[in-house]
Structure 1
Amino acid sequence: MQNTPGFEAAPGLRNPHLQTVVGRIARRRFEPRYDRVRLDTADGDFIDLDLWRGPEDPAGVCLLLHGLEGSARSGYMVTTSEALAAARIQPVALNFRSCSGEPNRLPGAYHSGRTDDVERALAWMAARFPGLPQTAIGFSLGGNALLNLLGREDGGNGLVAAAAVSVPYDLEASADALDRGMGRVYGHRFLRSLREKAREKARRFPGVVAPEAATARTIREFDDRLTAPIHGFRDAADYYARCSAKRFVGSVDLPMLLIHAQDDPLAPGISVPVEAIRRRPRLSLALTERGGHLGFVARQQRGGLAGARRGWLEGTVSRYISRATHQTTHRDFRVF
């Protein structure tokens, strides 16, 4: 395991909730520049990919995976895409099923361990950008799904490196965090969107999607009532046990950067499997004291909030992916 350069929180933003909320608000000001591609899936559904406009002569291509109820237009997806494009990496943002602005066609959608749509997106990238090194970045739930893929035999075949940020390594611990204290504020925000989607699916698929999912009071209840049964799990506990990234990270065998804040209010820092990561020499861990969940709003040299290309998170991730892309011998790849 390789250590990464440290993160220093911006003055006045040492609180994890301020980091989480301010990071989200600050990144909203960056305008997405995407072209959309729709891919039909083998089961009769579809996924939407959003391609950043540029660079004109990319040195590589990177798949970005968003978090729970996010999309390609989420601030961290947009700012990271901008930073990657500045480094001559072509960003491709995957919108998980039901997250692209149009309901998907089937009762099921996406979850923390679903990897078939990630694999389909990677296959499309390989065909669309032949010969270019492929990388991937997952944020929160997207990072969990990415680790599910990479920790399996032949998972992520073709990728030269990857990164994951604010991963809920223990899904049960994250569900608990969203049901206590300030975590309930985040949980209710997710549930507003999830319950609306559940109502829409219950209308379209009566007898398949339980209407009770639209009245779930917690993330765990929602996963018990909809996520688990629709996707073949016994219940939420079974889903959490089978899909938590902590099961898979110890089997990842390619260069990968893992960024996590110890004060993460949604994915508790204590759930990071540090020892399993430490045993993997090709993994690089940035376990920072502060940063919140997908926050990482850093101190800037001249004050104020920097542009995406200079933000700590965007800069750290894009440098890692850029170095991996340009490296000729990836087996010996080291970035820090």
Structure 2
Amino acid sequence: MREVVRHVSTRYPKANIYAVGWSLGANILVRYLGEESHRCPLSGAVSLCNPFNLITADEDFRKGFNNIYNKALAKGLRSIFKRHLLLFEDMGGGYNIPLAVNAKTVKDFDEGLTRVSFGFKTADDYYSHSSSSDSIRNVCTPLLCIQAANDPIAPSRGIPPDDIKENPNCVLVVTPQGGHLGWVAGAETPLGAPWTDPLVVDFLEHLRKGRQPEDPDPSFNIDESEHNPSENLESLEV
């Protein structure tokens, strides 16, 4: 993330750069924003369905119906890894190749392979140090966070609402429905674009105009008639 932003900033030094992250990508983005803090070159960012606390997300991921998602993702990771097994034949460093090859859950795969690659002692250690829940308080870039209360992959109990609300650079929107990146609405449902797409663009356009917080911008608003979010906006937490 840091290298990409640095590259784009160098190539286009006069441009305003914005970033949008989905799911685990949102966690990476928010963690980056917090680490860079006031040094961050981004002019604005949006986080959608961020798991925030990866330990909490992993706990919920292994419960009830969520096991279906867990097993499906683990299967995909095994499939990708098996195509590259030869690269790990003579590689030491504590990799547990049998565990990764036969991983039943994402955590099994992370325990056998991912956490070793990044130098962590355990998968939980990896999750703890990679979570963005402790980074949000250091974010100095305008940031819009959109979450769904019924998200099975990014559980609402992992959201750090107090830290977000206390940070004047952040806005939190929590919809009662939406699942994991499933904010569908309007006449074209379920094939149309999510209602969050125009909302994200409105937010970034608001930032592009360079308006100050005390200068209200009527072009940025969470308006049901404009974005047609149907029942998703019965309640908002901002």
| Number of aligned positions between the proteins | 215
Q: Which of 149, 153, 164 is residue 47 of structure 2 equivalent to? A: 164
Equivalents in 1 of 2:37, 2:142: separation in Å?
15
The equivalent of 1:143 in structure 2 is 26
* CA distance in 1 between partners of 2:191 and 2:58 (Å): 33
Q: What is the identity, as a one-letter code, of the residue corresponding to 2:52?
A: Y
1:211 corresponds, among 97, 101, 107, to 97
Cα shift readout 1:206-236 (whole Å, capped 9, x = no counterpart): 2435322111111111111111111111111
User: 1:319 maps to which residue?
Assistant: 202
Q: Is the 8 A contact 1:160 1:330 kept in 2?
A: no
Cα shift readout 1:155-184 (whole Å, capped 9, x = no counterpart): 762111101000111111211222221111
1:133 partner letter: N
Change (3 A) 1:245 1:280: same
User: Aligned letter for 1:261?
Assistant: A
C-alpha deviations, 1:264-316, integer Å up to 9, x for none? 01111111110111110121111111110011112x2x4644743xx311111
Partner of 1:182: 65
Higher helix share: 2
The yes-or-no answer on 1:232 pairing with 2:119 is yes
Matched, 1:279 2:180: no
Which of 166, 175, 186 is 1:288 aligned to?
175
Q: d(CA) in 1 for partners of 2:152 and 2:50?
A: 12
Equivalent residues of 1:199, 1:211 under 8 A apart: no
Aligned equivalents of 1:198 and 1:303: distance in 2? Answer: 38
Question: Relative to 1, partners in 2 of residues 1:159 and 1:330: Cα closer, same or farther, differing over 3 Å?
Answer: farther
Cα distance, 1:293–1:121 mapped onto 2, change above 3 Å: same
> For residues 241-260 of structure 1, what are the structure 2 equivalents within 5 Å?
241-260=128-147
Residues 149, 156 of structure 1: 8 Å contact kept: no
Query: Deviation of residue 253 (structure 1)?
Result: 1.1
Compared with structure 1, are the counterparts of its residues 246 and 191 closer, same or farther at alpha carbon in structure 2 (3 Å cutoff)?
same
Give the TM-score of the pair, scaled to structure 1.
0.59
Q: Quick one: distance in 2 between partners of 1:141 and 1:155?
A: 23
Maintained 8 Å contact 2:40/2:141 = no
Which of 6, 10, 35 is equivalent to 1:127?
10
Tell me the TM-score normalised to structure 2 length. 0.82
In 2, Cα distance between equivalents of 1:224 and 1:235: 6
Residues 232-267 of structure 1: CA deviation (Å, up to 9, x unaligned): 111111011111111111111121000000110111
Q: Distance in 1 between matches of 2:43 and 2:215?
A: 11
Does 251-260 or 317-326 show the bigger shift? 317-326
CA contact (8 A) 1:177 1:266 kept: yes
Tell whether the 8 Å contact from 2:111 to 2:122 is kept in structure 1 after alignment.
yes
Bigger fraction of residues in strand: 1
Alpha-carbon distance in 1 for matches of 2:122, 2:38: 26
Q: Relative to structure 1, is the Cα distance of residues 197 and 303 closer, same or farther in structure 2, using a 3 angstrom cutoff?
A: closer
Structure-2 separation of matches of 1:154 and 1:316: 25
Structure 2 unaligned segments of length 5 or more: list them. 222-238
- Worse overlay, 126-135 or 149-158: 149-158
Structure scoring higher RCO (CA < 8 A, sep ≥ 6) equals 1
Q: Distance in 2 between matches of 1:271 and 1:137?
A: 20
Give the partner amino acid of 1:210.
Answer: N
How do residues 3-22 of structure 1 correspond to structure 2 at under 5 angstroms? Answer: none
Compute the displacement of 1:330 (Å).
8.2
Deviations 1:174-203 (A, max 9, x none): 112222211111112211221122223332
| Kept in 2: contact 1:202–1:210 (CA 8 A) | no
Residue 270 of structure 1 is matched in structure 2 by 157
